[in-house]
Every structure is written in structure tokens, then in C-alpha cells.
Amino acid sequence: MLNDLEEAAREAGAALVGVADLTQPEPIAPVDGEEIAGSFPRAVSIAVRLSRAVLEGIVDHPTKLYFQHYRAVNMMLDQMGLKLAGLIQQAGYDALPIPASQITDWESQKGHVSHKEIAVRAGLGWIGRSNLLVTPEYGSQVRLGTILTDMPLETGTPLERDCGECTACAAVCPAAAIKETPAGFDHLACFEMLKEFQKKKYAGQYICGVCVKACPGRDGVK
């Protein structure tokens, strides 16, 4: 069944697919106070690669083209989540697709569950200095989706990697929010910059993209 799900996801446009164990090493916690994740021991993590050409247009603030691309990719992930959830349900199991970009706490930049933590557990990448998921193939230039399920799928293994000496994202961050470690990331400074970008009408949503452009990955396809 995992092969079928992966094939369906890739046919729909996913660049990366993995499965996370939500029970080990400790149960994953919902981040908005809703007990969503508790009854689901597995999660399918999917990643769609962002357009390099769109990202190239970003210099020190988001562009309107990036904003539209960002929204289109999120919609794509949501449709993909619905498709995979349907396949899982047809096989007799429960599935709950989580919206790709439904933020419940903007200051902390959190949603119903952490897509990036689930992606880490699925072996798709690690949390970088920018506090984003970094994949070996595409760096941070991906958007993530999640389908929670009770289907007993084989799970991936977290990668034993980090950003090493790379500080490309920190060098370009317009809010100086990126520090030496992911734990040091200044969420408030980032959020204040996102509000400034929206105030200047660069984008109709709290997005940036500057650090995403700076992190193209080290192992991946050009």
C-alpha cells in the first residue's frame, strides 16, 4: 500500500514522500490545543518543490509572483492530501489530511500539527537554522503536507544530518531572526518583518521567502 500511496503522490506532483511514526520516541503533540494527532500513530509526509525561477525573483522581500506560487502549491498539497486520504480510506483505514498552510498562531508560526517535525520523523530532512525543514535534495525550497492515519505503514528513519557550517540563510535574513541554532530562531522578529512586508503590500499573506531562496540544498537536482 505504501508503494501505491507514493506512486499516487508523485503522479500528483510530490517531490518527496515519507511516513512518520507519531508514537516514537515520544508521541507527537498537537500545537494548537486540539487533540488531533493522538489517535493516529502514523503520518504520510509529502513535499512539493517550489519553482527555482519564481524564487530567483526574490531579493530582500517577497514578490507578488512568489505569493501566487506559494498559494498555488499549498492548494496542490491540500488536493494531494485529499487524494491520499481517500486511497487510505478505500483500504479500510482512517485518514485525516491536515491543511498545508492553515496557521493557528502567527506569532509562533504554528498550525494544527508541525508538518516539518513530521517530515523529520519521516526521514525527509532536518530542521535548519532558519527553523524550516531542510531536505538534502532541495534545501528549504519545498512546501509540506501531512495525512494522519492509522494504517500500519512502514516508517522512515530520521536523518542524522544538520546544516553544518552553512549560514547562507542567516546572512540574508531581513529580520536578523536566524541564529546559530534552530532553537535560537527569533519568531517574534520574523513575524514583525512579515507584518511589515504585508503592510507594504508585497504579498497578501505573512510570507517572506528570502531564506528559502538562499537554501537550495546540497545533494539535489538542479
On the 0-12 / 13-18 / 19+ scale of CB atoms within 10 A, 216 is middle
Residue 221's pLDDT is: 43
pLDDT in tens, 105-129: 555 555 568 899 999 999 999 999 9
Cα–Cα dist 158/153, whole Å: 16
Q: What residues contact residue 165 under an 8 Å CB cut-off, 6+ apart? A: none
Q: Give the phi and the psi of residue 192 in degrees, each rounded to 5.
A: -65, -35
Q: Average pLDDT of 66-94? A: 96
Residue 109's pLDDT is: 53
Confidence of residue 222 (pLDDT cuts 50, 70, 90): very low
- Tell me which of 104 and 137 has the higher pLDDT: 137
Lowest-confidence pick of 108-122, 132-146, 148-162: 108-122
- Three-state DSSP at 98 gives strand
Q: Residue 26: is its pLDDT beyond 80?
A: no
Q: Indicate the length of the chain as a whole number.
A: 222
Domain extents for the chain? Answer: 2-213
The one-character DSSP state at 139 is B
The C-alpha cell at 57 is 525573483
Q: Residue 32: is its pLDDT beyond 80?
A: no
Comparing CA positions, the residue from 167, 32, 209 lying closest to residue 107 is: 32
Q: Residue 30: is its pLDDT beyond 80?
A: no
Cα–Cα dist 188/198, whole Å: 15
